[in-house]
């Protein structure tokens, strides 16, 4: 009865409303995720979409854009940003379509860029305080979810409120409030489950590049010292492996990747750019005070920098020793310092970073690589990494096999070929080794991973993509093979997408004599329709899955309401359905709604002794902007 009432409440609010939606932009953002994100990514999707939606409203003037602004477009590599800046300095753009003349950009990147840039005159007018409020944009988002309605009978409600103010790429302010499922709305323990934050940021005022107060992120070098960027995961498309220094950026999310709370500033003195920041946050009843600094020097195609952080804890960190964490950091203070370099010239790019972190013994980490362009359509990437067992930096998020940059030796090699019309080929191999056991894989000492990705994207015919990934580890299972086939067809307002995904694991017979081979698969059918006569956009999915072993779980991206993302693991045996819809009631009001349900087979429910065979979720978001 409670479940029916909640669903009826959501639907009753939703269905009387109809409006126009900027369907093309939303579709482009989804394409960016499909192109950039891989399984294993640790990306803050909420922040990514918020950043892109912001840039769609406040487009970057390509003729006077700074490197820092272009780095907000995370689908661009550092080499592509260099080429854009070099081209526009020699040939100012009159229209955005001239970006097609810039070497190093591919067809889908032209299409992505067109939604976030404009070609205006390169002039710097004096900014007056009154202009910041006259030429401003306000946005209010209120989201309410009813999550896992069957199980969370007491309080299944998740609530999220945001207010955003932005003006002229100069002033940004925001407030974020979040209430988690099952937590108290008021009381002494609400801080642990809920989130309350805000920020204010000034940008591009004379020599002041950034001044941020409140919640923010810092990202410098390749991520060994401090990184707040999105880790996209291993990918065969080597341009999507990001190694940029995005500097200090406001943070308006609800807790994903690590963020700071305090004050930070970046000042530009010609070729030298310096940043300092301070943060004070409470996490797990321990106060963390952090002081950080960065100095970077740019000369033509060369950029070098030094980054240092010092963290003080109000109480010593003690670890309950397990087989995998005996060399993790313990204590009440930690210093980390590193140096990075990036050089790009014509067809060659060289980059690297080395860092040391304080522990019971000082730990060292190194990440070096080179990217080569044999032609404009053929690229190679070679990347080597060494993270010593004593290197344990809580702020690091660099490239690696595991999410923690600790005790790892690896070599990655990838290539991408686009020289054949309508075809896209990508391949990578990654070798890695550990000196000791890792979490959840106590017998692992190393392994190898291979992936190939083949895409066919003709101008008018259906698009297809085939992806194969094979991984071998010296652990409980020896081999894991994953395959994915996707077929997409679009005509008018219709878009159909059929995908088949499979997973196969072979086990060590000495450790698992009764389980030599396990399999899993999903069959997914998506139907999207953008009405022309009636302003409604509907997205429907039906998925059937059978992956009864956790090692055979399969991840698939799902459409969701604005600033919300779902990449659930299909595990077990059953089916999943969802209906997602998007509206613009008028120029100032928009409504988003999603209803999803997962149904498990009676056999699976009985075998696992589950109390419920279904899970139902409903998401509703109201957006006001003016």
> Per-residue pLDDT tens for 186-214?
554 444 457 788 999 998 888 898 999 99
The residue-averaged pLDDT of 325-343 equals: 90
Nearest to 407 by CA among 472, 300, 325, 345: 325
Strands 378-387 and 363-375: antiparallel
Q: What is the pLDDT of residues 346-379, one digit of tens each?
A: 888 899 999 999 998 899 999 999 998 887 788 8
The residue-averaged pLDDT of 453-481 equals: 79
Give 616's Cβ-side CA count (13 Å radius).
14
Residue 310 has pLDDT above 80, yes or no: yes
Tell me how far apart the alpha carbons of residues 518 and 508 are, in angstroms, rounded to a whole number. 12
Question: Which letter, b or e, does each residue of 290-319 get, where b requires 16 or more Cβ atoms within 10 Å of its Cβ?
Answer: bebebebebeeeebebbbbbebebeeebee
pLDDT confidence bin for 8, thresholds 50/70/90: very low
Question: Tokens 């660099």 belong to which residue?
Answer: 398
Name the residue with higher pLDDT: 165 or 179.
Answer: 165
pLDDT confidence bin for 453, thresholds 50/70/90: confident
Question: Hey, how many other C-beta atoms are within 10 angstroms of the C-beta on 528?
Answer: 20
Which domains, and CATH codes, for the chain?
A: 128-198 (no CATH), 206-461 (2.40.160), 476-626 (no CATH)
pLDDT confidence bin for 7, thresholds 50/70/90: very low
Tell me how far apart the alpha carbons of residues 74 and 228 are, in angstroms, rounded to a whole number. 13
What's this model's pTM, rounded to 2 decimal places?
0.84
Residue 305 has pLDDT above 90, yes or no: yes
pLDDT of residue 152: 61
Cβ proximity of 408 and 387 under 8 Å: yes
Strands 348-357 and 331-345: antiparallel
Q: What sign for the dihedral angle of Cα 204, 205, 207, 208?
A: negative
Tell me how far apart the alpha carbons of residues 385 and 285 are, in angstroms, rounded to a whole number. 34
Tell me how far apart the alpha carbons of residues 499 and 316 are, in angstroms, rounded to a whole number. 50
Range scoring the smallest mean pLDDT among 35-44, 149-158, 170-179: 35-44
């Amino acid at each position: 009865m409670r479940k029916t009432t909640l669903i009826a409440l959501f639907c009753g609010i939703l269905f009387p409303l109809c409006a126009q939606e900027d369907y093309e932009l939303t579709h482009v953002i989804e394409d960016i995720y499909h192109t950039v994100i891989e399984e294993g990514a640790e990306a803050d999707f909420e922040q990514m979409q918020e950043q892109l939606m912001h840039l769609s409203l406040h487009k970057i003037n390509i003729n006077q854009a700074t490197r820092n602004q272009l780095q907000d477009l995370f689908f661009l590599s550092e080499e592509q940003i260099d080429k854009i800046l070099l081209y526009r300095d020699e040939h100012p753009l009159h229209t955005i379509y001239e970006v097609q003349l810039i070497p190093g950009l591919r067809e889908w990147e032209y299409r992505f860029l067109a939604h976030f840039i404009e070609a205006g005159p390169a002039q710097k007018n004096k900014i007056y305080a009154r202009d910041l409020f006259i030429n401003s944009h306000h946005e209010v988002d209120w989201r309410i979810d009813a999550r896992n309605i069957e199980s969370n009978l007491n309080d299944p409600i998740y609530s999220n409120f945001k207010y955003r103010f932005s003006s002229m790429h100069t002033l940004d302010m925001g407030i974020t409030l979040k209430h988690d499922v099952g937590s108290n709305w008021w009381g002494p323990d609400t801080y642990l489950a809920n989130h309350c934050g805000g920020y204010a940021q000034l940008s591009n005022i004379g020599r002041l590049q950034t001044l941020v107060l409140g919640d923010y992120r810092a990202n410098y070098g390749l991520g060994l010292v401090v990184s707040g960027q999105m880790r996209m995961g291993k990918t065969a498309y080597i341009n999507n492996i990001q190694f940029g220094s995005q500097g200090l950026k406001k943070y308006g999310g609800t807790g994903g990747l690590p963020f700071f709370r305090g004050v930070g500033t970046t000042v530009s003195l010609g070729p030298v750019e310096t940043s300092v920041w301070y943060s004070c946050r409470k996490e797990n009843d321990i106060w963390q005070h952090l002081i950080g600094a960065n100095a970077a020097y740019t000369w033509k195609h060369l950029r070098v920098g030094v980054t240092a952080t010092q963290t003080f804890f109000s109480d010593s960190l003690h670890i309950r020793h397990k087989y995998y964490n005996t060399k993790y950091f313990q204590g009440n203070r930690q210093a980390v310092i590193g140096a990075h370099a990036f050089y790009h010239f014509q067809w060659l790019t060289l980059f690297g970073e080395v860092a040391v972190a304080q522990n019971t013994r000082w730990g060292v980490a190194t990440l070096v690589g080179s990217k080569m362009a044999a032609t404009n359509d053929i690229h190679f990437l070679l990347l080597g990494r060494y993270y010593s067992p004593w290197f344990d930096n809580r702020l690091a998020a660099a490239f690696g096999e595991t999410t923690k940059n600790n005790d790892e030796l690896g070599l990655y090699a990838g290539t991408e070929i686009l020289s054949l019309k309508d075809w896209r080929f990508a391949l990578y191999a990654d070798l890695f080794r550990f000196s000791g056991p890792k979490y959840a894989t106590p017998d692992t000492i190393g392994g190898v991973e291979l992936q190939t990705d083949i895409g066919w994207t003709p101008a008018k015919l259906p698009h297809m993509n085939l992806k194969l990934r094979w991984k071998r580890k010296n652990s409980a299972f020896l081999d894991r093979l994953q395959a994915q086939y996707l077929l997409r067809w679009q005509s008018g307002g219709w878009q159909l997408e059929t995908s088949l995904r499979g997973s196969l694991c072979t086990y060590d017979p000495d450790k698992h004599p009764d389980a030599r081979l396990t399999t899993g698969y999903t069959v997914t059918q998506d139907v999207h329709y953008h009405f022309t006569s009636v302003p409604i956009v509907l997205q429907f999915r039906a998925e059937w899955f059978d992956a009864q072993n956790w090692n055979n779980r399969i991840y698939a991206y799902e459409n969701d309401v604005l600033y919300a993302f779902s990449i659930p693991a299909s595990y077990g045996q059953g089916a999943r359905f969802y209906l997602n819809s998007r509206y613009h009631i008028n120029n100032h009001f928009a409504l988003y709604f999603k209803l999803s349900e997962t149904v498990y087979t009676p056999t699976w429910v009985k075998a696992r002794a589950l109390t419920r065979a279904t899970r139902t979720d409903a998401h509703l978001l109201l957006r006001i902007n003016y």
